[in-house]
Amino acid sequence: GCGPRKRRGSHRDTEARRRSRLRAFVLSAGMRRATREALKPEPPGPPL
């Protein structure tokens, strides 16, 4: 049988969409930071 036309779990959908957007933003920020770190020379410091 077909379920109700009104989709349930809209809050969960929005939460998942927000989480995916946040993850994408973090990923892009991380890539940008990685490229910047790779472009700039390594600072003279004690190796970890």
Is there a domain that residue 29 lies in? yes
Is there a domain that residue 46 lies in? no
pLDDT > 80? residue 44 = no
Is there a domain that residue 26 lies in? yes
What's the structural domain count of the chain? 1
pLDDT tens string 13-23: 888 899 999 99
How many CA atoms within 13 Å lie on the side-chain side of 26?
Answer: 6
> Which domain, by its residues, includes 21?
11-41
pLDDT at 19: 92
Q: Which sign does the torsion angle of CA 23, 24, 25, 31 carry?
A: positive
